[in-house]
Amino acid sequence: MINNRLLAVASYINHEKLADIGSDHAYLPIYAIEQRKVKRAVAGEVVQGPYMAAVENVKKYNLDNKIDVRLGNGLDVIEQNEVDCITICGMGGPLISEILHNGQDKLTNFPTLILQSNIHTEAVRNKLIALGYMIKDEVIMKERKHVYEIIVAERNDTGITYNDIELKFGPVLLTKKDEVFYEKWLREYHHLKTVYDVIKSEEKHVEKAAEILNDINILQEVLNIEH
Ligand code: SAM
């Protein structure tokens, strides 16, 4: 019933109570309950249509007694200390990071966060660090031509810090640098080179060109490309 992307997210769930924020059809909490990965769950949705889809799906699977479908913005739908795992999937990094920022009063018990972003995952990492979390694991994967990143985060009880390169590319992903990682960042590298070649000799773009050149140099280092 669920796709490989959500299956990969679900593989990290092994908790008491889950909150899936932006749950849409509630596929993830339904799967997590059916697979006994959690005992109870909340499916949160801010938009009426997907909220109704979640309500109906939960009913269809006879899970009304285990999954509460709640209409509301981000982490507003949960109480403090109510859950020990939160998933936020299928959104851009900046939106995930905004949801975490606005709901930080619901993170004081440091629930495990499993976050799957479609783009700009760096924004998620920066927010996690600001909120006192550390990155336990990361996955980069491709499904139907789209590249997704998954971050598993827990309370930073080791005092670990991350440099700018780790925040951009992912501290765990950098240790693996698998095929999908190379594909994603090589595409970005070629894109930046094309843009740079177009603007490098235009005076009004001097600063932007310098910025892009810096990014190109970083990518060359990370991808081991000969200068
Ligand atoms: N999580 C599902 C998945 O990964 O397949 C659905 C992803 S869908 C692309 C994003 C969902 O997040 C939409 O249903 C949208 O209404 C919901 N959403 C966006 N912003 C939200 C917010 N601030 N709070 C709760 N839900 C939100």
Cα 46 to middle of ligand 1, angstroms: 7
Cα(47) to ligand 1 centroid in Å equals 8
pTM (2 decimals)? 0.96
Query: Are 106 and 194 part of one and the same domain?
Result: no
Instruction: State the pLDDT at residue 173.
Output: 98
Q: Check residue 226 and give its pLDDT.
A: 80
- Is residue 90 domain-shared with residue 202, that is, in the same domain? no
Indicate if ligand 1 lies below 6 Å from the C-beta of 21.
yes
Could you give the number of structural domains in the chain? 2
In a structure prediction context, what are the per-residue pLDDT tens digits for the chain, which is 227 residues long? 699 999 999 999 999 999 999 999 999 999 999 999 999 999 999 999 999 999 999 999 999 999 999 999 999 999 999 999 999 999 999 999 999 999 999 999 999 999 999 999 999 999 999 999 999 999 999 999 999 999 999 999 999 999 999 999 999 999 999 999 999 999 999 999 999 999 998 888 899 999 999 999 999 999 999 86
Residue 156 in any domain: the answer is: yes
State whether 187 and 141 are in the same domain: no
- Determine contact, residues 84/112, Cβ cutoff 8 Å: yes
Question: Residue 117 maps to which CATH number?
Answer: 3.40.50.150
Per-residue model confidence (pLDDT) at position 205:
87
Measure 217 CA to ligand 1 centroid, in angstroms: 35
Is residue 134 one of the residues assigned to a domain?
A: yes
Distances (CA, A) of 201 to 97, 214, 217: 36, 16, 18
What was the pLDDT predicted at 202?
86
Domain containing residue 210: 181-222
197 and 128 assigned to the same domain = no
Q: Indicate the top mutation candidate among 18, 21, 27, 95 to test ligand 1's pocket, ranked by most ligand atoms within 8 A of CB.
A: 21
Task: Classify residue 176: in a domain, yes or no.
Answer: no
Does 46 lie in the same domain as 133? yes
Q: Order across the sheet with 67-71: list the strands.
A: 67-71, 40-45, 17-21, 85-91, 112-117, 146-155, 133-143
Do the domain assignments include residue 106?
yes
Could you tell me how far CA 57 lies from the centroid of its own chain? 24
69 and 143 within one domain: yes
pLDDT for residue 33: 98
Residue at 167 is within a domain = no
Minimum CA distance residue for ligand 1 atom 18: 22
Residues whose CB is less than 8 angstroms from the CB of residue 38 and which lie 6 or more positions away in sequence, other chains included: 13, 14, 15, 16, 17, 18, 29, 32, 85
The answer to the question of residue 227 being in a domain is: no
If asked whether residues 91 and 140 sit together in one domain, one would say: yes
* Cβ 150 under 6 angstroms from ligand 1: no
Q: Which residues contact 113 (CB under 8 A, 6 or more apart)?
A: 85, 86, 87, 88, 100, 107, 128, 133, 151, 152, 153, 154
Distance of CA 159 to the CA centre of its chain: 22
- CB neighbours of 24 closer than 8 A, spacing ≥ 6? 45, 50, 53, 54, 90
- Give yes or no: residues 146 and 189 share one domain: no
Pocket test for ligand 1, best of 4, 23, 75 (most atoms within 8 A of CB): 23
- Look up residue 78 and give its two tokens: 């949960």
Asked whether 29 lines ligand 1 (CB < 6 A), one says: no
Is position 98 within any domain? Answer: yes
Pair 69, 131 in one domain:
yes
189 with 156, same domain: the answer is no
Q: Is the same domain home to 59 and 117?
A: yes
Which atom of ligand 1 is nearest the CA belonging to 47? 16
Q: Are residues 190 and 129 in the same domain?
A: no
Give the ligand 1 atom nearest the CA of 76: 24
CA-proximal residue: ligand 1, atom 27 (nearest): 22
For residue 127, tell me if it sits in a domain. yes
Does the beta carbon of 170 sit less than 6 angstroms from any atom of ligand 1?
no
